[in-house]
Amino acid sequence: MLEMWDLYNGKREKTGKVLPRGVPVPKGLYHLTVSAWIVNSQGQYLLSQRHPQKTYPLCWECTGGSVLAGEDSLSGAVREVKEELGIILNPFKAEMIYHTKREDIQEFYDVWLFHADVDISEITMQETEVVGVQWVNRDGLIDMLHSGKLHPMIDYIEEMF
């Protein structure tokens, strides 16, 4: 099934136009992407490892992706986590912790934080997206950032804390 994205103007207003995934976003327009951080009651963050056939192979990241046409940011974050990890998150327990406009790749990017105690053995990884999962504490996350093990677009971590 073809993934469709809503297009937004520079003020983050929907234009009424949609674009299929893979087609370049027209100049002056943007699409919406999200990431979802999951933190457990021990203060650990859930990371997933990217499939080796994806860009930034085997990098660790929080779950995320593009928001589909008709979805809002929070719904897109909840859907991405369900698709990639099989985890059903409560949207009423979410908090937006970061957002930005990335001019170079023409996107609005929202980052959500969820609190959930998830047993790693119960995670169902999407085979084409994820090859590993782990819980990491704050210091481990910072170490992974500085050692280049995290996806390079996750450059806002120190602002999260």
Q: What is the pLDDT of residue 1?
A: 76
Confidence check: pLDDT of 148 > 90: yes
> Where do the domains of the chain lie?
4-160
**Residues 88, 92, 95, 101: is their CA dihedral positive or negative?**
positive
In the three-class reduction of DSSP (H, G, I as helix; E, B as strand; rest coil), residue 53 is classed as coil
What does pTM read for this prediction? Answer: 0.94
Confidence check: pLDDT of 122 > 80: yes
Query: What φ, ψ does residue 11 adopt, rounded to 5°?
Result: -100, 10
Confidence check: pLDDT of 161 > 90: no
Confidence check: pLDDT of 69 > 80: yes
Burial 8-27 (b: 16+ CB within 10 A, else e): beeeeeeeeeebeeeeeeee
Confidence check: pLDDT of 50 > 80: yes
Q: What is the pLDDT of residue 158?
A: 82
CATH match for 4-160 among 3.10.450.100, 3.90.79.10, 3.30.750.24, 2.60.40.790: 3.90.79.10
In the three-class reduction of DSSP (H, G, I as helix; E, B as strand; rest coil), residue 15 is classed as strand
In the three-class reduction of DSSP (H, G, I as helix; E, B as strand; rest coil), residue 134 is classed as strand
